Amino acid sequence: MKKIQYLISLCFSLFLAFLWITLMFFMLLIYDLFIIDQFPKDFQITDGKEGVLRDFRIKSVYSDDNMIEETVYTYEKNNGKLYVMGKHGFWIIDYFDGNIILFNEDLTKGEVDGINSYVDIYSHYRDKYRPLWLDIKIICYDKIAKQKKIYKSQMKVLPEYTDLTNEEQEIYQRLRSPTYKNTSPKRYGFLFQPFDYLFNHLEYVYTDITSTLLQSK
């Protein structure tokens, strides 16, 4: 009799555990699909085979965010930075302070100088020759130049592979691999990486205090 009661109690406990796990699974599913996107964030890569990289810190009359990259192939989070391989190049985003680096080896030095100085080097070309939408290179130039006008000194454009650090070069090659799998988070902000932001803030405070003490000496 006691064995039967024990088996019944065990089966009931296992059934309750199964219900609890199932309930938690559905709660997490609902959270991921409907709730998490309502939280404030700084950057996000949208879902899909080829996502979109958006900056939610930048708002305009027409949109609640700025689309940095319209086609994201691969991405990786590493040491407080988001590395993105996209249609317009290799993006390096410091999601703490918002500094952005873009490496595009297809850009010429003249194009980079034009982007950095906010000069449209193709202004003479637009009205005289073929329709603009036929020239993919100029469209890419315009997209990058637009981002530079938005971020100004916070954005750097690099045309040479040697301009990247050794770590950035390694990540660049890794993201170009056809077998690379995206496993990093898609959302970035204080609520999504709280410890990263906290430690980064403490590091800034420590640096400021140290520099102040050195100056006082």
The tens-digit pLDDT sequence of the chain (217 residues) is: 556 665 666 665 666 666 666 655 444 444 444 444 555 678 999 876 678 999 998 887 778 889 999 999 999 999 889 999 999 999 999 988 889 999 999 888 888 988 988 877 777 666 665 555 557 778 888 899 999 999 999 999 998 999 999 999 999 999 999 999 988 888 888 777 777 777 776 766 667 677 776 776 6
d(CA 77, CA 81): 6
Cβ–Cβ < 8 Å for 111, 97: no
How confident is the model at residue 102, as a pLDDT?
96
d(CA 169, CA 164): 6
How confident is the model at residue 103, as a pLDDT?
96
How confident is the model at residue 31, as a pLDDT?
43
Cβ–Cβ < 8 Å for 152, 146: no
How confident is the model at residue 96, as a pLDDT?
87
Cβ–Cβ < 8 Å for 187, 44: yes
* Residue owning tokens 């034009």: 114
Burial bucket for residue 82 (CB in 10 Å: 0-12, 13-18, 19+): buried
- Tell which residue, 50, 37, 58, has the closest CA to residue 84: 50
How confident is the model at residue 34, as a pLDDT?
44
How confident is the model at residue 122, as a pLDDT?
74
Count of alpha carbons within 13 Å of 127, Cβ hemisphere only? 4
pTM beyond 0.85: the answer is no
Cβ–Cβ < 8 Å for 25, 167: no
For residue 158, what are its two tokens? 């690099």
Give the contacts of 1 (CB within 8 A, at least 6 positions apart): none
How confident is the model at residue 187, as a pLDDT?
86
How confident is the model at residue 116, as a pLDDT?
86
Label the pairing between strands 51-55 and 43-45: antiparallel
- Indicate the length of the chain as a whole number: 217
Cβ–Cβ < 8 Å for 59, 194: no
